[in-house]
A = this chain, B = another copy of it.
């Protein structure tokens, strides 16, 4: 097994809050992250795929194919968007980095996996100081 990773960037806004809670309760739970008018980040996404090297191509998978899959299924839906209001797969879900990563995993995994390769991990950096990683 060998692991290949490609990095993607998207800029999005979000607000952390729980529906049914008052602004005060949300502020207590989420601090500044629950500011009612939102805030935003330059997210950095790393998609890692594991597999054997295909002797025909010398690749686990072609990075152009990986780029096209992630661009179409994910980046086009979140880049320059509001994660609470504009993104279908985040409807009704609190947009914490943890929840975003799990949704990205669920979207990308069936598009990557086949007999020769598998999605291995999704890593999402929210700021220079924090990131989340998920391996299913």
Q: Hey, which chain B residues are within 8 Å of A4, CB to CB? A: 97-98, 130-133
A16 to B74, CA, bound (A): 23
What 0/1 readout, one digit per residue, does chain A (68-90) give for beta carbons within 8 Å of chain B?
A: 00000000000111101110000
- The answer, among B3, B39, B53, B132, for a CB contact under 8 Å with A40, is B39
Given contacts A2-B98, A37-B86, 12 further A-B contacts (CB under 8 A): A2-B102, A5-B133, A6-B130, A13-B38, A32-B80, A35-B81, A39-B79, A39-B80, A53-B99, A58-B94, A59-B96, A60-B132
Q: How many copies does the complex hold?
A: 6
Q: Residues on A close to B: CB < 8 A?
A: 1-7, 9, 11-14, 16, 18, 29, 31-33, 35, 37-42, 48, 53, 56-60, 63-64, 79-82, 84-86, 93-94, 96-99, 101-102, 127-135
